[in-house]
Amino acid sequence: MSSHSKHLPAEKRRAVTVESVVELASQQNPSKITTAAIAKHMHVTQGALFRHFPNKEAIWQSVMEWVTERLLARIDRSVQGVDSTLEALQAIFMTHIEFVAEHPGVPRMMFGELQHAESTPAKRMVQTLIQRYQQRLMHQLETGKANGELAPSFDSEAAATLFIGTIQGLVMQALILGDVAHMRRAAPGVFAIYRRGIEKTG
């Protein structure tokens, strides 16, 4: 992070803080990231950091908002102009994998937030992301059924849950292996299996 960060306007400083946390989370356990570490990474004081965020929880909430906005925006762009439901679903699948590959700290933070027994602003933001993501998938799946591209009998909600869960499984394997590229290599074959379960045959 450039030393120029200490002279940034408030909105830009908040954005740089969020990006710093995402970057740090790709290098270490997110639960071990302190505000002191964030400030050091940005070359500012903790006091400067807390002029823009009241506490660490507020930083984490902003990070989850950043993830939600960017991931869903990428997903929406990936399906623009795509008429085929199956091609749209594949575009969403691969876009999500690519997003995680670029920001490997993000799933670590999300899994960490969801493990909290209590409800936190960041955890609620993760839950909102999953709900909004699932709504987009449900729309694609119902459209595919209506236009005859997908089998009419499967449960769309279950199929959306499986879609997200399949990506989460790939992400978890990549984190366990310490090999982000594993996701990219495995994703096409994994999606092909998912596709066979929902597409209309005959």
pLDDT of residue 175: 86
Residues 89 and 129 in one domain: yes
Per-chain mean pLDDT for the chain = 90
The proportion of the chain whose per-residue pLDDT surpasses 70, expressed as a percent, equals 95
What is the domain-level CATH number for residue 117?
Answer: 1.10.357.10
Residues 49 and 93 in one domain: no
Give the model confidence (pLDDT) of 106-149 as tens digits: 988 888 887 777 888 888 888 999 999 999 999 999 999 999 99
pLDDT at 42 over 70: yes
Residues 41 and 71 in one domain: no
Model-level pTM?
0.88
| Mean pLDDT computed over 50-67 | 91
pLDDT at 161 over 70: yes
pLDDT at 178 over 90: no
Two structure tokens written together for 181 = 């590229």
Residues 129 and 184 in one domain: yes
pLDDT of residue 201: 86
| Mean pLDDT computed over 150-161 | 95
pLDDT at 63 over 50: yes
Residues 23 and 88 in one domain: no
Residues 29 and 64 in one domain: no
Residues 161 and 83 in one domain: yes
Q: Which of 145, 76, 61 is nearest to 110 (CA)?
A: 61
| Mean pLDDT computed over 172-182 | 89
- Confidence category of residue 4, pLDDT binned at 50, 70, 90: very low
Domain range for 46 is 1-53
Give the model confidence (pLDDT) of 179-195 as tens digits: 889 999 999 999 999 99
The total number of structural domains in the chain stands at 2
Residues 107 and 15 in one domain: no
CA 36 – CA 162 distance, rounded (Å) = 39
pLDDT at 2 over 50: no
What is the domain-level CATH number for residue 41?
Answer: 1.10.10
CA 146 – CA 171 distance, rounded (Å) = 31
Residues 131 and 32 in one domain: no
Residues 14 and 89 in one domain: no
pLDDT of residue 6: 52
Residues 63 and 159 in one domain: yes
Residues 94 and 170 in one domain: yes
- Confidence category of residue 27, pLDDT binned at 50, 70, 90: confident
Torsion over CA: 107, 109, 114, 115 (sign): positive
Q: Which of 165, 32, 187 is nearest to 101 (CA)?
A: 187
Q: 108 vs 4, which has greater pLDDT?
A: 108
